[in-house]
Structure 1
């Protein structure tokens, strides 16, 4: 199946919707990779699997997919030789236990869901592995009873902690120490039990300073009476870590030894997860299992597009009495949606998804589906656009054969209508001769006429309400639709006189061909003398011809050059490159000080501030005078 079709009809969006119903990365990746099948038995099996899964869901039963969210990550860790933590082992044990629970569920429902039962019948029982994990781990912690050594170590740790606690409490209860305490607390710092002492007494306490507060007001002291117990405790805890690691490594090893069997079961459960994702999505769109065929027969009965809000159901048939369908009608009438619906529903069916449809819907399983689609609803039908369509159609022509469906949107558009229509007809004839089914949309009357006359082509129009002048988005088989250009133009607020003239031209083909006399709207410019190539005054608004930039004329330098104020800069520009836009007399009132036009706003403000006696301005002036004197000296 060519991948261009997926994006064109939003099949990728359907896959993304499916992935929302999957838990594991294994299943999400499987959905992403799953291609529509061109095999009739495969598609039939997929549809039957989805229907069986819906039966389970409809009965209120739930498949116990447990531990799936991180199973890929944990499996990769095991395969890399890493040791799982207690909580991770419990997750994996839950996953292994789910195999038995899933098998038990489908054993109970094997007569209603025989295909799904056949999957689960091969799931391995890993009860010895998961039972051992549950025996050794409780509450995300390795049980003390997991080994004799671990039990002894933890008992010793408990005794040491109790001894340290008693000694520290005795230390804090001593009247000589109470005034030196910052708080009556026992705190662990760097794995050692300490008490908080006021900083000023740190030299008056028998013990080791382990840490201090960020402000330096408190030090954390390990009294001499508990030092050796802290040392022993640290050693015992290190021994505990080592023993726990050995137990975790043993449990991880139990799983790793069975990884080949687990991998097979993962594949089975992943496929089940994919099937139930299809079932859940099919239920969400009210999908029904259609009939399918390999006889190039498309029968849609009240089929709904799954991604549209309140879609108008589509009914059409192709491949029985005719092998090509030409759809006509207004741009806004839904012709393109018909093409996308046919393709998308076919692809969904070929992937095992049930579609929203009525009784009798029969969908062909194609070897390939091709599409040439592009919204030609602007005035920018350029040569490059037409060339792109031709390149796509050239590739399609090479690949079409029997059991292929070709969808063509506005075929032949983007070029001369006569040539475009002729080329479109020739292209469709070639696709038809090679045995493909063709559905095309068009505005061209010549293509409509060709479809009406051809024995194996048929037509359809998009319904249009003549009273309200609005499209109904409904396909009418056997009819030809009008483009309703006048309706669209009226919608776009085209002038009534233009619409009336267009109607007259359409009816009678008589046009107003008389030449209209247009009087000049401006006085002709005076001829330029040979000795003087300009006639500009200060303040005139001018255009620099080679750049198109607008500026102000300042003064001529000679008969050929002038100073022009352009983008806050005074530039020398050849007079021959200047064009008058507006004169200063037109732009400014009589007596206007034109020199101010050539000063920056900041300079004008500075001068005004000086004139009104601004202290800030005079201070700046004095500073500038001082700087000039210093430079002169």
Structure 2
């Protein structure tokens, strides 16, 4: 299932929804969610999202409070720890939100009946909240929270006042002021002290509590305040004990209710996930979609959620009158995007995510969705593209069962066309016999013919603008499309003479089989002797992709082709160079470096060019625009 998330981009949708979730405990729960294969569960999820979108659209918001730290605080309580005053305030906000959320959905119960039923299960923890509010203000424990705390804080206030008055006398005394580093009272080790210059420490009657790091200042507690300082330290100890008792009592109130709080927390977490789905669905202008367990798929102008307004809406049907669909058309026409959009529609519906569509879409809830798409080449395992595709298809065949959807991109490609077409047809027949819905893309005429002949298969084609010679990225049901190879070849600047000959051959013209007599330069006996001598020196013969050494510069390059006059073209530092053939020495043959079916041409193509080609293949409008600009530039040359 994880693979289809990555192949279709569903993982990006999941990541965005998770980013909308507030609480850590809901995020953990969401990580374990999977698209459901149960019709009732899917319907419930879609209804939840729809109701949440109604509430958001009305400008109302759920008062989620204290959710970001609640899991951490609950863990502390479960481990027997006492919460600080500020932490108790956060927990109180979380518990108080239950009542506010419940009130919100009671007010909107006719618009959100399903969510209203959820919130009916939220507990009432008013007593706990009031106890915390009466004792704590923010991160401060109130004096009124207990009689003992009020008394000890009154005593502390009196002691501090007496100490300050005594020290103020020292600060105002002109004689004493000369001995001070600063005219300030500074607390050190819980005692009120004066900062005295070291050379005058004997002038102040009192106890040295601390010395500065540079030794220039001593902090002296005057004898006049020593007794009161002792009393103040004891009083503050009593205050700490009183505060601890209050905090422990309030933490205990929460601990006694943890089981009931846990039930409510589950409801809040579910609401957190539902509204995260609703925020995403609202952003992409999602609408409710009908779902069924009859394996009927009908997408009515459905937009790919990751492409937004740039996407051409997809209309496609399957399952009601046919079990298989074969899609044809040009490489850059959007066939692969159709497969991804169909998969996303099913995954999103099963996850409670609403997509943008024309309003009459219907999506099946399936037992499994399988996909074989893109370039499956795996050099680490020495697998060619075709081998890797077959490996994946074999796994799909073993797992396919009724109520499965199988999506195959360019089925049978990567090998000899007749064999590939025959394999493709046999694979689709096997999937059909196993009871799966099948959608496949192809260029093979034999597979198109199979679909036209089979009573349970339909065809569809990607629309192509024959006048302007560009794809429309629109799927046309019950049509058969051409591969438009000539259009792609022309866009890639293939010589016009080559295109004209190819069109003639396609129309049935005879191949040009006459032998060309190449004009050879005459060779003197000396030249022949020299040539023979050169041959005896083993003039090297190279193949495309061979790793070679440039003997003059000692650089290593890839051999591309042999040119006239014993020259060669090699690929070095991402550019082609022409060098004398005899200046090359074989390092490693291509047959050793690469698998038998490896596309050697890709070695000589810049990464950006390959990416550009892949963008063309997946139907990127940006890439198509760039392609048209290149064509226009060539016309103007």
Query: Which range, TM-score by smaller chain?
Result: 0.7 to 0.9
Alignment partner, residue 471 of structure 1: 471
Deviation at 1:526, TM superposition (A): 7.6
**2:387 matched to 1:408?**
no
Alignment partner, residue 311 of structure 2: 311
In 2, the alpha carbon distance for the partners of 1:20 and 1:379 equals 36
Alignment partner, residue 358 of structure 1: 358
**Partners of 2:314 and 2:338 within 8 A in 1:** yes
**Partners of 2:377 and 2:383 within 8 A in 1:** no
- Mark the CA change 1:144 to 1:431 in structure 2 (over 3 Å): closer, same or farther: same
Deviation at 1:157, TM superposition (A): 1.3
Q: Deviations over 1:203-255 (max 9, x none)?
A: 43323333344444333322222222222222222222222112111111110
**2:457 matched to 1:457?**
yes
- Mark the CA change 1:492 to 1:215 in structure 2 (over 3 Å): closer, same or farther: farther
- Report the secondary structure of 1:20's partner residue: helix
Structure 1: gaps spanning 5 or more residues = 534-545, 554-578, 583-633
Alignment partner, residue 428 of structure 2: 428
Alignment partner, residue 336 of structure 1: 336
Deviation at 1:296, TM superposition (A): 0.8
- Report the secondary structure of 1:424's partner residue: helix
Q: How does 1:95-134 map to 2 (within 5 A)?
A: 95-134=94-133
Structure with bigger gyration radius: 1
Alignment partner, residue 156 of structure 1: 155
- Mark the CA change 1:165 to 1:405 in structure 2 (over 3 Å): closer, same or farther: same
- Report the secondary structure of 2:179's partner residue: coil
Alignment partner, residue 28 of structure 1: 27
- Report the secondary structure of 2:61's partner residue: coil
**Partners of 1:18 and 1:31 within 8 A in 2:** no
Deviation at 1:339, TM superposition (A): 0.3
Alignment partner, residue 618 of structure 1: none
In 2, the alpha carbon distance for the partners of 1:162 and 1:379 equals 81
In 2, the alpha carbon distance for the partners of 1:513 and 1:213 equals 105
Greater mean deviation of Cα atoms: 232-241 or 92-101: 232-241
- Report the secondary structure of 2:351's partner residue: coil
**2:193 matched to 1:209?**
no
Deviation at 1:352, TM superposition (A): 1.1
Q: Deviations over 1:227-286 (max 9, x none)?
A: 222222222222222221121111111101111101011111111121111222111111
Alignment partner, residue 231 of structure 1: 230
**2:393 matched to 1:388?**
no
- Mark the CA change 1:526 to 1:333 in structure 2 (over 3 Å): closer, same or farther: closer
- Mark the CA change 1:42 to 1:581 in structure 2 (over 3 Å): closer, same or farther: closer
Deviation at 1:106, TM superposition (A): 1.6
- Mark the CA change 1:421 to 1:34 in structure 2 (over 3 Å): closer, same or farther: same
User: How many residue pairs are counted as aligned between the two chains?
Assistant: 541
In 2, the alpha carbon distance for the partners of 1:44 and 1:148 equals 57
- Mark the CA change 1:58 to 1:488 in structure 2 (over 3 Å): closer, same or farther: same
- Report the secondary structure of 1:345's partner residue: helix
In 2, the alpha carbon distance for the partners of 1:240 and 1:330 equals 81
Alignment partner, residue 142 of structure 1: 141
**Partners of 1:86 and 1:137 within 8 A in 2:** yes
**2:502 matched to 1:517?**
no
- Report the secondary structure of 2:481's partner residue: coil
**Partners of 1:382 and 1:414 within 8 A in 2:** no
- Mark the CA change 1:472 to 1:381 in structure 2 (over 3 Å): closer, same or farther: farther
- Mark the CA change 1:98 to 1:200 in structure 2 (over 3 Å): closer, same or farther: same
Alignment partner, residue 48 of structure 2: 49
In 2, the alpha carbon distance for the partners of 1:505 and 1:168 equals 110
- Report the secondary structure of 1:415's partner residue: coil
Deviation at 1:550, TM superposition (A): 3.6
Q: Deviations over 1:409-451 (max 9, x none)?
A: 1111121111111101000001011111100011112111211
Q: Deviations over 1:6-62 (max 9, x none)?
A: 221122211111112211012222222111111112211211121122222222222
Greater mean deviation of Cα atoms: 507-516 or 30-39: 507-516
Greater mean deviation of Cα atoms: 430-439 or 496-505: 496-505
- Mark the CA change 1:291 to 1:527 in structure 2 (over 3 Å): closer, same or farther: closer
**Partners of 2:385 and 2:414 within 8 A in 1:** yes
Alignment partner, residue 69 of structure 2: 70
Q: Deviations over 1:504-543 (max 9, x none)?
A: 3333251446255375899646849x9xx9xxxxxxxxxx
In 1, the alpha carbon distance for the partners of 2:583 and 2:58 equals 82
**2:246 matched to 1:242?**
no
- Mark the CA change 1:580 to 1:441 in structure 2 (over 3 Å): closer, same or farther: closer
Greater mean deviation of Cα atoms: 106-115 or 501-510: 501-510
**Partners of 1:505 and 1:511 within 8 A in 2:** no
Deviation at 1:364, TM superposition (A): 0.9
- Mark the CA change 1:86 to 1:513 in structure 2 (over 3 Å): closer, same or farther: farther
Deviation at 1:403, TM superposition (A): 1.1
Greater mean deviation of Cα atoms: 318-327 or 502-511: 502-511
**Partners of 2:552 and 2:583 within 8 A in 1:** no
Alignment partner, residue 488 of structure 1: 488
TM superposition score normalised by structure 2: 0.80
**Partners of 2:377 and 2:388 within 8 A in 1:** no
- Report the secondary structure of 2:118's partner residue: helix
In 1, the alpha carbon distance for the partners of 2:436 and 2:519 equals 58
- Mark the CA change 1:177 to 1:335 in structure 2 (over 3 Å): closer, same or farther: same
TM superposition score normalised by structure 1: 0.80
- Mark the CA change 1:448 to 1:520 in structure 2 (over 3 Å): closer, same or farther: farther
In 2, the alpha carbon distance for the partners of 1:91 and 1:387 equals 58
Structure 2: gaps spanning 5 or more residues = 538-546, 555-580, 585-637
In 2, the alpha carbon distance for the partners of 1:552 and 1:452 equals 61
**Partners of 1:321 and 1:456 within 8 A in 2:** yes
**2:78 matched to 1:85?**
no
Q: How does 1:158-173 map to 2 (within 5 A)?
A: 158-173=157-172
Deviation at 1:501, TM superposition (A): 3.2
- Mark the CA change 1:518 to 1:9 in structure 2 (over 3 Å): closer, same or farther: farther
- Mark the CA change 1:376 to 1:85 in structure 2 (over 3 Å): closer, same or farther: closer
**Partners of 2:329 and 2:483 within 8 A in 1:** yes
Greater mean deviation of Cα atoms: 342-351 or 480-489: 480-489
**2:258 matched to 1:283?**
no
